[in-house]
Amino acid sequence: MEAIKVDNLKKTFKLKLKQVKALDGMTFNVNRGEIFGFLGPNGAGKSTTIKIITDLVRADSGSAYINGIPSTNHKARADIGFMPENPQYYDTLTGLDMLLFSASMFGYKDAKTQAYKLLEEFGLEDSAKVPLRKYSKGMIQRIGFAAALIHKPDILILDEPMSGLDPIGRMIFKKKMKELNRQGVTIFFSSHIIPDIEDICSRVVIVKDGKVVKDFNEVEIKYLTTSGFEIVVKNASGTGLDMGEKEISKNLYRIDCDKGNLINTLELLKDKRIEIIDIEPIKKDLEDVFIEILNG
Ligand SMILES: Nc1ncnc2c1ncn2[C@@H]1O[C@H](COP(=O)(O)OP(=O)(O)OP(=O)(O)O)[C@@H](O)[C@H]1O
Ligand SMILES: [Mg+2]
């Protein structure tokens, strides 16, 4: 059974004079054990989808399920941790109280040790007793993530968890996501930060205008972002090789070839009995791929 199933969600928001179609048949599954990246431009419908999965908004039609339970049933939320896009927490609570309060909502009474552990992991140990109204944006993101984890959920749903974080914060979050995933936690997160998605996701779904436009697994992400290969060879001089090779040090030459030309290039090198030292992919940004897809 899928961790999350989203089936043909449609949602139109009614504003005074106009109607905004936020979702237009949004359909995808998040498999158990994945780190699933939900990527799309502003207004694509990411947060609306997440709000329907967490039952903060009801769909006009279609359904969402968590662990096979309809999202409109409160039991669906028993095993999830959720961090909203623009968290509004009770700002008179201290960081520590916020974590204990979150834990108590899931029935955890004795969460103090776990709370201190998380405060330390997220670099908030000195602010444990400081009220949230004195926290910076990045500190709120950190406490929000810790609060989503305190009850050890099986599924984490995070709406742009890393926006507003400094590079160290992003590193802490990514490390934690990978660690949790190794322990079996399924992670579903939306983001605009393409390198972060590239770093940690085993699957990426790209959405636009309220529906899915592309669905890539890890291997496809790697293939899409590879534009060619850099081959390093030895002792190529005097072999009549004419492949635009550049000498990079004594007797070592670098040849660049297009993605579709690797086999031909390797066969030519083999025919000439040229020794291959190394083959590395030449990468282009997922950002470029993303823009190509959205324009196509
Ligand atoms: N409560 C609402 N009332 C009216 N329109 C809304 C409401 N919530 C969302 N929308 C509209 O629905 C569309 C999808 O919004 P949504 O917040 O789901 O996008 P998003 O992909 O999360 O974008 P972003 O990357 O900017 O967070 C937008 O056009 C937005 O203006
Ligand atoms: Mg959003």
Domain C-terminal end among 204, 222, 240: 222
- 43 CA distance to ligand 2 middle (Å): 7
Instruction: Report d(CA 204, CA 217) in Å as an integer.
Output: 6
Residues 45, 188, single domain; the answer is: yes
280 and 202, same structural domain? Answer: no
Give residue ranges with CB within 6 A of ligand 1.
13, 15, 20, 22, 40, 42-48, 85
Do 214 and 259 sit in the same domain of this protein? no
Ligand 2 centre to CA of 282 (Å) is 32
Helix or strand holding residue 81 (H, E):
strand 80-83
Please report which confidence band the pLDDT of residue 65 belongs to, taking 50, 70 and 90 as the band edges. Answer: very high
Determine the Cα–Cα distance for residues 211 and 201; give it in Å rounded to an integer.
20
Query: Could you tell me the two tokens for 239?
Result: 């072999």
The ligand with the least distance to the CA atom of 209 is: 1
- Domain that residue 256 falls in: 227-295
Both tokens of residue 168? 């160290």
Note the pLDDT of residue 197: 85
Among 200, 222, 244, the domain boundary falls at 222
For residue 191, report the distance from its CA to the centre of ligand 2, in Å: 8
Q: Which of 46-55, 87-96, 241-250 is the least confident region?
A: 241-250
pLDDT value for 26:
98
The last residue of one of the domains, among 177, 207, 222, is: 222
Same-domain pairing of 91 and 193: yes
Max mean pLDDT among 24-33, 214-223, 233-242, 252-261 falls in 24-33
Q: Report, as an integer, the average pLDDT of 91-107.
A: 94
Pocket test for ligand 1, best of 10, 11, 13, 56 (most atoms within 8 A of CB): 13
Residue of minimum CA distance from atom 11 in ligand 1: 22
- Taking only the tens place, the pLDDT of each residue in 244-267 is 888 888 889 999 999 899 999 999
**In a shared domain, residues 157 and 215:** yes
Q: Are 158 and 181 in contact (CB under 8 A)?
A: no
Residue 30: pLDDT above 90? yes
Q: Does residue 210 share a domain with residue 63?
A: yes
Q: How far apart are the C-alpha atoms of 124 and 117, rounded to whole Å?
A: 10
User: With bands split at pLDDT 50, 70 and 90, how would you rate the model's confidence at 129?
Assistant: very high
Choose the weakest-confidence range: 54-68, 81-95, 274-288.
Answer: 274-288
Q: What is the pLDDT of residue 287?
A: 78
Residue owning the nearest CA to atom 31 of ligand 1: 43
Residue from 42, 56, 157 to probe ligand 1 pocket by mutation (most atoms less than 8 Å from CB): 42
Residues 188 and 263 in one domain: no
Looking at the predicted structure, is the pLDDT value of residue 237 above 80?
no
Centre of ligand 2 to C-alpha 48, Å, is 7
pLDDT greater than 80 at residue 57: yes
51 has pLDDT over 90: yes
Split at pLDDT 50, 70, 90, the class of 225 is confident
At 45, the pLDDT band (50, 70, 90 cuts) reads very high
The atom of ligand 1 lying closest to the CA of 23 is 14
Q: Any idea what the CATH number is for the domain that residue 60 is in?
A: 3.40.50.300
CATH of the domain at 239: 3.30.1490
Average pLDDT of every residue of the chain? 92
* Ligand nearest to the backbone CA of 23: 1
Nearest residue (CA) to ligand 1, atom 26: 42
pLDDT at residue 28 is higher than 80: yes
- Both 128 and 89 in one domain: the answer is yes
Residue 240 has pLDDT above 80, yes or no: no
Atom of ligand 1 nearest to the CA of 210: 14
One domain for residues 265 and 189:
no
Residues 140-170 pLDDT 10s: 999 999 999 999 999 999 999 998 899 999 9
| Atom from ligand 1 closest to the CA of residue 45 | 18
Could you tell me the two tokens for 32? 């158990």
**Residue 238: pLDDT over 70:** no
Q: Are residues 68 and 188 in the same domain?
A: yes
Coil, helix or strand for 25? strand
pLDDT of residue 24: 97
User: Phi/psi class of residue 221: alpha, beta or left (left: φ > 0; alpha: ψ in -120 to 50)?
Assistant: alpha
Q: Are 211 and 231 in a shared domain? A: no
Helices (H), ranges, the chain: 46-53, 95-105, 112-121, 137-149, 167-182, 194-200, 218-224, 262-271, 286-295
pLDDT at residue 46 is higher than 80: yes
- Within this chain, do residues 177 and 256 fall inside the same structural domain, yes or no? no
Atom of ligand 1 nearest to the CA of 49: 18
How many structural domains comprise the chain? 2
Minimum mean pLDDT range among 38-47, 181-190, 237-246, 258-267: 237-246
Amino acid, res. 47 = S
Query: DSSP letter at 57?
Result: S
